[in-house]
Amino acid sequence: MDVDELNDVNATDANGSDANASDANASDANASGVNGSHMNDDVNGSDANASDANASDANGSHMNAEQNDGDMVDFLFINKAAVTINALGGNDLVTLDFGQVPAGLTSLTINGGEGRDTVNARNLPGGDVQTTFVGVENVVNRADDIFIRDLYHLRLGRDAGDDEVAGWRDILRREGRSFVAGGIEFSDEARTHLVRSWYQHYLGRDAGGGEERGWVNALLRGQLSEEGVLASFLGSAEFYQRAQSLFTTGTPDERFVRALYRVVLNRDASQDDVTGWVNALPSLGRQGVAQAFLASLEFRDDVVRDFYENLLHRDADDDGLRGWRSSGFGLGVIRHAFEASEEFFNHG
């Protein structure tokens, strides 16, 4: 075995009259009327006097191994009378979750653009705010259905069909959130979507000729963890060769180590970092070094922070971050716990 990324845009507030959530592969916009000011690196936000705030996410500015969705982008709906969110092309999911009416807001327009678009209407702005949907094929306001559709977009990279939603809704009422989240998260389709995203992110290409099936089957049977599959990707001759093109200076081994820092830890390595790991390569091997990166507290810290931001739409609290980071649980187990939580059900 040699070793489609859905990029989500979480547009939660806008200082301009228009917020454009654009994405090369089907974007998601999550608009909420909180008064927070969090803005991710993906935001190309305009200043207070500008009319537009643009948020684009072509590949996700910070993609960790657990993700098949890009980072969310937050906006602040403050002191704007009329706001339009343009999802542009693609099959988009827009979630509206307003805890309160934003100051000054009188109208909100969601323009789905081309493709099949769904709005999860958790909480509309309310009050005297007029909410209008343009080019939106499906508006969902049942909490059970929103939960299911969120999981489909996050884990399968597609919208759920009405029959699929109805089927999972019945199971949800009988078995509960954890059963449904696990059924979708650990399904053949979700595992295939995840492994294919790794081919794109780590090897820079699509999986071809069904080569992903071996890895998918190993995950489904519990023969390998997600970290185990990723270590095989990162320790492969193909990734080693790709590392040579990602960096133009240094020995081949130095380029390999620098590539691991870039794609796993999302930062550049210091020369001391590089020297230390190059010296460890003869004893650990490439896959052993990759496993060490994936087991590091730095990597797990990044992963858990992304779960808080992209699944719960808030910053991680210190106790929660420390607990999950040091828990020893695998990535899939932690992600499933987040998806099965009441907080995700109510605000995911």
Q: What is the 3-state secondary structure (H, E, C) of the chain?
A: CCCCCCCCCCCCCCCCCEEEEECCCCCEEEECCCCCCCCCCCEECCCCCCCEEEEECCCCCCCCCCCCCCCCCCCCCCCCCEEEEECCCCCCEEEEECCCCCCCCCEEEEECCCCCCEEEEEECCCCCCEEEEECCCEEECCHHHHHHHHHHHHHHCCCCCHHHHHHHHHHHHHHCHHHHHHHHHCCHHHHHHHHHHHHHHHHCCCCCCCCCHHHHHHHHCCCCCHHHHHHHHHCCHHHHHHHHHHCCCCCHHHHHHHHHHHHHCCCCCCHHHHHHHHHHHHHHHHHHHHHHHHHCHHHHHHHHHHHHHHHHCCCCCHHHHHHHHCCCCCHHHHHHHHHCCHHHHHHC
- Look at residue 26 in the predicted model and tell me its pLDDT: 33
Range of lowest pLDDT (108-117, 188-197, 247-256, 329-338): 108-117
pLDDT tens-digit series, residues 31-61: 544 332 222 222 222 222 222 333 322 222 2
- Which of the four pLDDT bands, split at 50, 70 and 90, describes residue 193? very high
The structure's pTM equals: 0.76
- Which of the four pLDDT bands, split at 50, 70 and 90, describes residue 103? confident
